[in-house]
A and B are shown apart, each in its own frame.
Chain A
């Protein structure tokens, strides 16, 4: 039943069990995924509001655009690889005969760590070039947005590391399934956020 239709029913006229076992209107997925989606909405709102602030602040006269370091292209590639590997891991854990699970799972985490290391390097380079946090609002936004993104990724890596420990202590593929599915969704989300951020930072 569509949203509008279900809001238009007269509940006092409908008696008896409705909707079978699943409560009508519930999502056909696990509560964990609904929970993660809820969090992703919040994270999206946070990033969007930062970008709105960025645009508003940009229009004030003291703004000096920052030329983004070329290394960001390489970092982007690392994050894409990480996301792709997570997708692969996800396919592995859903398949009947899991193979290469270790490679895919650890590869995904490794590339994410490399991405963060790469981001830190760009920070270092910017500092050396005299682009400090307080020099200009464009710099401040750059550090703030990339930092916030990295913090989100670190949160994901924490969940990933718990999975890694379980995997090393002999957990089977199916036990990791939910955790891998959630991570994959989260990684794709962070990749999309990064691509938007990057496009945004590079074009302003």
Chain B
């Protein structure tokens, strides 16, 4: 009896929950209204069946519960009824499946006017490649990947020379232009998802998969990875900016082509040395760092990382509220005029001899190992050297007190939350692997052991 009432109430409750719920699909931003139509159709058909079946179930329980003097009816089967019910079910299934297959056909067949853009996934970043003026993407191979050629574009292929390579997780798309994204992965499975576009597809190393959509709404949307790709899966985020054609044209004109990245002039170390004079006051003549002045060691750090951080200080992505020393640094960073100047300084720093910094932090090395090995080593590697591939800086032999400050900053939201600091945002999430200052010090103490 109670069961019949509860099942009745659950049905009513589910209906109320649905109508009261603010949780539903996010507003669509691509021309895939047909997918939403299929979902709604299925929702209402199945919703009706859910309500009907369960109300009937509740009725049966209530009506035919055991009572004095009541007996069950003997009826082994009723073939006609069963066949009739199966037929109705079949009709319902066809009603849901048929539109689904039609929409799938339009998803499978890419329209001729769609432009091709490559989406490249690697642990744990998004990068993009546009076909350039010739409208064709050059061939690429995972075995050609190097720090200077992160896409593995075939340098022999003339079609690839004018490809626009975007080594940044932000994708720009012109409004109303159908796009076919060609999906490639350099390591594990990933999945390119923009919830507003409704479609998603895996990136599989060794082959090129695709999906297509027609962006219909301006805005900035999240790109998510939705296929488990290792420990950094949940921080593998990107963004897609849908903007009017004119804005898009202006944006893409600023990007570099593949041949430009290959033929970039070598950095001017002498110019870098001159510029470094301002830095030497705090960071030391040989980039050895100075804890008293809150200047971390620079020698031995990877040039791409130094470049990126100086850029962040210049952009205001670092050194904002709560980061006093970062604000000092931002002032100095702004003395470097442009990207070339930044590159020059980084190149000069790269010439310094790398002697490990003196350990200043103590902690439980075993616990530090445990945390580091489980969570940090995936990017910063077992030896703490870091790698351009994972966008991870070197940790071993660098200033341990600086490590403690920065992890604390990540945890406090002082560093990494600026919209342009995509890689810092990953650290904000990963830094939760260390729950308090003590654990941060443990990890720092463990990293100190990596130099010996």
- A and B interact physically: yes
- Residues on A lying within 8 angstroms of B by beta carbon are 10, 12, 60
CA distance A12 to B78 in the complex (A): 13
- Tell me whether chain B's interface is mostly helix, strand or loop, or mixed: loop
Residues 193-229 of B, flagged 1 when their CB comes within 8 A of A and 0 if not, give 0000000000000100000000000000000000000
Q: Mark B48-85, 1 if CB is under 8 A from A, else 0.
A: 00000000000000000000000000001100000000
Q: Which residues of B contact A (CB under 8 A)?
A: 76-77, 206
**Chain A residues whose C-beta falls within 8 Å of the C-beta of B76 in the assembled complex:** 10, 12
Question: How far, in whole Å, are A10 and B75 apart by their CA atoms in the complex?
Answer: 12
Contacts of A12 on B, CB cut-off 8 Å? 76
Q: Which residues of B contact A10 (CB under 8 A)?
A: 76-77
For the complex, give the distance between the alpha carbons of A60 and B205 in Å.
13
- Complex CA distance for A156 and B374, rounded to whole angstroms: 45
B140 CB → nearest A CB, Å: 15
Contacts of B77 in A (CB 8 A): 10
Please report the C-alpha to C-alpha distance between residue A60 and residue B76 in the assembled complex, in whole angstroms. 56
* Min CB–CB distance A14 → chain B (angstroms): 12
The minimal Cβ–Cβ distance linking A198 to chain B, given in whole angstroms, is 30
Measured in the bound complex, the distance between the Cα atoms of B206 and A60 in whole Å is: 10
Q: Which B residue sits closest to A60, measured CB to CB?
A: B206
Question: What is the CB-to-nearest-CB distance from B84 to chain A, in angstroms, rounded to a whole number?
Answer: 19
Closest partner residue, chain B, to A10 (CB atom): B76
* Contact sample, A vs B, 4 pairs, CB 8 Å cutoff: A10-B76, A10-B77, A12-B76, A60-B206
Q: Which residue of A lies closest to B206 (CB)?
A: A60
A7 to chain B, nearest CB (A): 14
Query: Which chain A residues border B206 with CB–CB below 8 Å?
Result: 60
Chain B residues with Cβ below 8 Å from A60 are: 206
Chain B residue at minimum C-beta to C-beta distance from A61: B206
Cα distance A169–B93 when bound, in Å? 67
Shortest CB distance A146–B (Å): 27
A12 to B77, CA, bound (A): 10
Distance, CA A97 to CA B76, complexed state (A):
58
Nearest residue in A to B79 (C-beta to C-beta)?
Answer: A10
Residue of A with least CB distance to B207: A60
- Docked pose: A100 CA to B170 CA in angstroms: 82
Please measure, in the bound complex, the distance between the C-alpha atom of A49 and the C-alpha atom of B197, giving whole angstroms. 38
Residue of A nearest to B76 (CB): A12
Taking the closest CB of chain B, its distance from the CB of A84, in whole angstroms, is 46
